[in-house]
């Protein structure tokens, strides 16, 4: 990894929530593991008189909140490489100051560096910032053609299809598609990266990954946390936009796409874009059959809006208009203030001659990362009884290695210019096309908003009703994946 290209990472919003929770800890870990090049530099943009010591303090607090303590040598190294530029990003004239600072830093390292601009700021400011970066020629590396300028942006990429298109057009004025890295941190999670390898490197599964062998696929991303103070953001966004439009449709694409011609970024994106374009949104008159929305019962009070109809739980059933997946329902569910934090994909394998028998393959993305296959075997003994068992591969137990956090991977990939784990503009647009009809239907308020108890599994009955044609229920609370503390295997309910 020492071959990472030297770069200056400029962070807009260095004291913001994202920088505190994800970005700065990721930088600390990369520095600690000596993965950053010696000439790597960090520039923090702030207009609050922030100092380098303030940033180091944020890092210390963040690392200690994860139960670890900071290593002094790493902090000392970070202190040397961080510069703070005090500027108001809404004032165009102040960008020349930024350019001047970047030039000084480059001169001091004696080499030409890639310029990475990380916009950890509200998306409403993206256009203004990129416009100014362009006008100052910061959308080019310090020697045109030798080094590159790259732009990293965080979701939400728009609020709906029209605003997503507008954002894409605005950014294109200053940065090319090649330069734009749209972060979807779920793609950088280790188990998500394993989906394609697992699917295409194992003939047992690659040859049976279709409608003949698969009854249905379930994707769950449940969270125990509520909205954690992000009132303004969340009350306008809701669960469908927050997780399904981005992370979970990206996962669906990886699970259902065709084998790419090559496992390179271009071909993987081509295959993902192709499958996302084939995902059918529910027909306007079918949204109440195909979708469920809910809200946790303390939500309205938390956001101080007793009329809020923002969903904190969303479940959808989708179909894909592609011969391989004809008639196979894809279920996606997400919610906040639920019983457990779980992100997983479960693929139900069927035997058309014995529909009551299903084998579940679960790819657990977090926590307890692993892959588990539920099998049915003869229970040892004199009688012919059937028992459910699990064959598992658990990252922690089996590999005994820790894997990089998603944001470490994001930063490493942008430094090496690898766009595989970032979303393309076509993927973003295709995902909006899928969810927009649901957004319209939900706005009309014709569909019930189920209020569910905090720490429950959400509106269980309607959510399970979506699955009534198949197994009849979501399985997260039944399957126990890679849980080392579980004393015995849990029996799956077969319908």
Kindly list the catalytic residues: 247
Handedness of CA 42, 47, 49, 50 (dihedral sign): negative
Q: Is 311 in the site for ligand BG6 (CB under 6 A)?
A: no
Could you give the string, one character per residue 175-214, with x where binding to ligand BG6 holds by CB under 6 A and - elsewhere? Answer: ----------x-----------------------------
Residue 101 binds to ligand BG6 (criterion: CB under 6 A): no
Task: Report yes or no: 235 and 169 within 8 Å, Cβ to Cβ.
Answer: no
Question: For residues 4 and 187, which CB has a smaller minimum distance to ligand BG6 in the complex?
Answer: 187
Nearest-approach distance from CB 220 to ligand BG6, in angstroms: 12
Residues 75-94 that bind ligand BG6 (CB under 6 A): none
Size of the site for ligand BG6 (CB under 6 A): 4
Q: Is 344 in the site for ligand BG6 (CB under 6 A)?
A: no
Which residue number is nearest to ligand BG6 in terms of Cβ?
242
Using rule CB under 6 A, residue 223 touches ligand BG6: yes
Of the two residues 242 and 408, which places its CB atom closer to ligand BG6 in the complex?
A: 242
Residue 358 half-sphere exposure toward CB, CA atoms < 13 A: 22
Q: What is the DSSP letter of 286?
A: G
Secondary element (H or E) of residue 18: helix 17-18
Instruction: By CB under 6 A, tell whether 235 contacts ligand BG6.
Output: no
Lay out the site mask for ligand BG6 across 237-266 (x = CB under 6 A, - = otherwise). Answer: -----x------------------------
CA-atom Rg of the chain in angstroms = 24
Comparison of 239 and 292: residue with beta carbon closer to ligand BG6: 239
Nearer to ligand BG6, 249 or 358 (CB): 249
For tokens 């923002």, the residue is: 310
Residues sharing a CB contact under 8 Å with residue 119, sequence separation 6 or more, in sequence order: 12, 13, 125, 126, 129, 130, 151, 152, 153, 154
Q: With respect to ligand BG6, which residue has the nearer C-beta, 17 or 60?
A: 17
Q: How far are the Cα atoms of 63, 274, 289, 432 from residue 254, in angstroms, in the given order?
A: 32, 11, 26, 17
Instruction: Report the residue number, 47 or 403, with the smaller CB distance to ligand BG6.
Output: 403
Closest separation in Å from C-beta 281 to ligand BG6: 22
Helices (H), 21-119: 24-32, 52-65, 72-81, 95-109
| Cα gap 224→237, rounded to integer Å | 18
Buried residues in 10-35 as b, exposed as e (16+ CB within 10 A): bbbbbbeebbbebbbbbbbbbbbeeb
Between 245 and 471, whose beta carbon lies closer to ligand BG6? 245
Please report how close the Cβ of residue 96 comes to ligand BG6 at its closest, in angstroms: 34
302 touching ligand BG6, by CB under 6 A: no
CA distance 460 to 107: 61
- What contacts 101, CB < 8 A, 6 or more positions away? 43, 83, 85
- DSSP label of 340: S
Alpha carbons within 13 A on the beta-carbon side of 23: 25
Helix ranges (H only) for 202-298 are 203-206, 231-239, 249-256, 265-278, 287-290
Give the residue with the Cβ less far from ligand BG6, 230 or 259: 230
Nearest of 219, 198, 313 to residue 263 by alpha carbon:
198
Dig out the tokens for 205 from the structure.
């599964």
What does the binding site for ligand BG6 look like in residue numbers (CB under 6 A)? 185, 223, 242, 343
């Amino acid at each position: 990894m020492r071959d990472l290209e030297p770069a200056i990472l400029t962070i807009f919003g260095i004291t913001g929530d994202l920088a505190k929770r994800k970005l700065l800890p990721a930088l600390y870990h990369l520095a600690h593991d000596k993965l950053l090049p010696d000439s790597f530099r960090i520039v923090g943009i702030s207009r609050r008189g922030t100092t380098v010591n303030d940033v180091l303090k944020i890092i210390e607090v963040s690392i200690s909140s994860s139960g670890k303590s900071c290593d002094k040598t790493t902090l000392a190294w970070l202190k040397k490489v961080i510069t703070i530029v005090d500027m108001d990003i809404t004032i165009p004239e102040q960008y020349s100051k930024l350019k001047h600072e970047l030039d000084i830093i480059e001169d001091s390292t004696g080499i030409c560096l890639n310029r990475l601009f990380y916009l950890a700021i509200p998306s409403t400011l993206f256009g203004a910032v990129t416009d100014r970066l362009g006008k100052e020629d910061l959308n080019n590396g310090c020697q045109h053609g030798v080094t590159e300028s790259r732009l990293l942006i965080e979701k939400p990429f728009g609020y709906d299809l029209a605003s997503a298109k507008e954002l894409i057009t605005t950014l294109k004025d200053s940065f090319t598609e090649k330069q734009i890295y749209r972060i979807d941190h779920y793609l950088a999670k280790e188990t998500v990266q394993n989906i394609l390898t697992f699917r295409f490197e194992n003939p047992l599964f690659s040859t049976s990954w279709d409608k003949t062998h698969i009854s249905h696929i379930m994707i769950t991303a449940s969270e125990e946390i509520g909205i954690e103070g992000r009132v303004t953001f969340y009350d306008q966004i809701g669960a469908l936009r927050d997780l399904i439009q981005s992370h979970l449709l990206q996962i669906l694409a990886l699970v259902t796409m065709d084998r790419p011609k090559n496992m390179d970024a271009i071909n993987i994106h081509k295959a993902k874009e192709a499958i996302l374009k084939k995902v059918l949104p529910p027909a306007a008159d079918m949204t109440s059959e195909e979708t469920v929305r809910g809200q946790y019962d303390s939500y309205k009070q938390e956001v101080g809006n007793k009329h809020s109809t923002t969903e904190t739980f969303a479940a959808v059933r989708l179909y894909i208009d592609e011969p391989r997946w004809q008639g196979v329902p894809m279920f996606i569910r997400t919610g906040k203030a639920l019983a457990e934090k779980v992100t997983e994909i479960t693929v139900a394998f069927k035997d058309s001659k014995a529909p009551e028998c299903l084998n579940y393959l679960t790819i657990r993305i977090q926590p307890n990362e692993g892959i588990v296959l539920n099998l049915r075997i003869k229970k040892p003994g004199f009688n012919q009884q059937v028992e459910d068992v699990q064959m598992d591969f658990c990252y922690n137990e089996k590999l005994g290695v820790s894997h990089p956090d998603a944001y470490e991977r994001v930063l490493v990939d942008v430094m090496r210019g690898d766009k595989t784990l970032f979303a393309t503009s076509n993927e973003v647009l295709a995902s909006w096309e899928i969810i927009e009809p649901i957004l319209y239907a939900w706005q009309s308020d014709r569909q019930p908003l189920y209020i569910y108890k905090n720490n429950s599994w959400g509106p269980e009955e309607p959510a399970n009703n979506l699955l009534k044609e198949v197994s009849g229920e979501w399985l997260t609370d039944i399957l126990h994946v890679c849980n080392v503390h579980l004393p015995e295997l849990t029996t799956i309910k077969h319908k």
